[in-house]
Structure 1
Amino acid sequence: MRKETNQRKGKKSNVLPGFGLSLGYTMLYISILVILPLFMIFFNTTKMGWSDFWDTVLDPRVVASYKLSFGASFTAALINVVFGVLLAWVLVRYPFPGKRIVDGLVDLPFALPTAVAGIALTTLYAPNGWIGSLLGFKVAFTPIGVTIALTFIGLPFVVRMVQPVLQNLEREVEEASSSLGASRLQTFTRVIFPELLPSILAGFTLAFARSLGEYGSVVFIAGNMPMKTEITPLLIITKLEQYDYTGATAIASVMLFVSFLLLFFINLLQWWTNRNMTAN
């Protein structure tokens, strides 16, 4: 009896029962929706030999699409970091007429069909469009247009990651910094920015990952010119339409592998930042 009592005392009782069953359903759900489809990409790629694989993924046209997709996605995510933080700051810190409307418009890229966004952006930035006709250089059907489309669809991720942190940031800390003689710039860089950095990195990661897989809003404004404005998702779709499934999965596996590496590095940087903040 004493032995059983001691064993029961050693075990921690769960307030919410059913952990094992919930964990099982969770792992099954993730396996079916995430792990299995990703595994099939690499599995289908193994059907082609190494020489065919390298010939497919290192084709000059494919490499040019890699450069455009990763470069435009990275640039768009950086732009969203700057203007996303600024927009979140304005929405949190300043009252102004129509604030709720602006706050709701931030989520519009989430709800708007990507094809509609692509057509709207093309109409605006085409050489005969409202904005394109006013500019002295070409935007639509260039890498600049691709970057604009990716910036449009990635903005909400940064704003919605930074906004709650700003709302929970105590004003007393800023007032204390100001009372100790710190300027506004010093208060932002040494007090506010370190608190925002983890959420900024998270927003950058989400915006970057979302941009890599974007297709609908880009194909209209890009023009899809090989070696110039052709994105990698379009090449994958093209190979699928040609029934070249192994070629499509080969290109997709490269995108997936490089995306994993980049996201792992960014998450590692975010973990390191959180650790240093906790230590300080």
Structure 2
Amino acid sequence: MAQRPLLLIDAPSLYFRAYFGVPESSARAVDGSPVNAVRGFLDMLATLVRTRRPDRMVCALDYDWRPQWRVALLPSYKTHRLAGEGEGEVVPDTLGPQVPVILDVLAAIGIPTVGADGYEADDVLGTLATTEPAPVEVVSGDRDLFQLVDDARPVRLLYVGRGVAKLEDCDDAAVRTRYGVPAHRYADFAALRGDPSDGLPGVPGVGEKTAARLIERYHSVSGILAALDEPDSGFAPGLRAKLDGARDYLAVAPTVVRVARDVPLGPIATTLPAAPVDPERLLELAERWNLASPVRRLVDALAGQP
């Protein structure tokens, strides 16, 4: 029988999607507080447990959504998401209060949540995907996590860009088909292409196809930069000028995009419980926040019920 996977959940990615995917008017607590993100997030977990049948799970959190070490390398990193000078990330007013409810429910069920000071959820996921026993399935709508795919371990990305119901189960062949590069080259490819959602400008005039061709030929950004110093390296004059003009950016961008794999996390009990570890607390939360149905669906999924 195939070994059951460790399911690594990009919690911010999923609860943001849940917030925008479930109308507030359809999910409110007794006091009128919206719980749409909580309801949607729990239903996503129930679907994942039921369809992927993991025996281990961890929900990764953003303790620092914009780490200073990344900003020091690339000041534009996620600047468009800042609420204001010296302030935190722009988060919808009615989403912020729902995150502690999600964490309370996960704690009562016994699903571990893990974050690390100075690191994003992506870095926690990268570290766990590298250090925990395989097989591993990472669940996220963040394209940067394609770089974690590793057929040898194996590590797969369950990409939920179109929702959990339409997740894409991605191995290295899927990454190659989608972007024209192997998964372990994705960070360099993304640095070249850029990503406006993260404030990565990319190299002006270099899109996905050109970035993929460059990575195929030179393997990495460092390989491209080394080739630029060779007069007969074969760059078309226009492309050489674009890359030359972006040298300072290219010197740091791959490090910014590359997910950390050595975050100090300490021991984590990853085993997925078959029943809630604190059923009384879970019942209290379900009643207080009007979450009886999604909680029951998740509890049933953990118990192996359809």
Both structures adopt the same fold (TM-score exceeding 0.5): no
TM-score (ref. length: structure 1): 0.21
Question: Which structure is larger by alpha-carbon Rg, 1 or 2?
Answer: 1
TM-score (ref. length: structure 2): 0.20
Give 1 or 2: higher strand fraction. 2
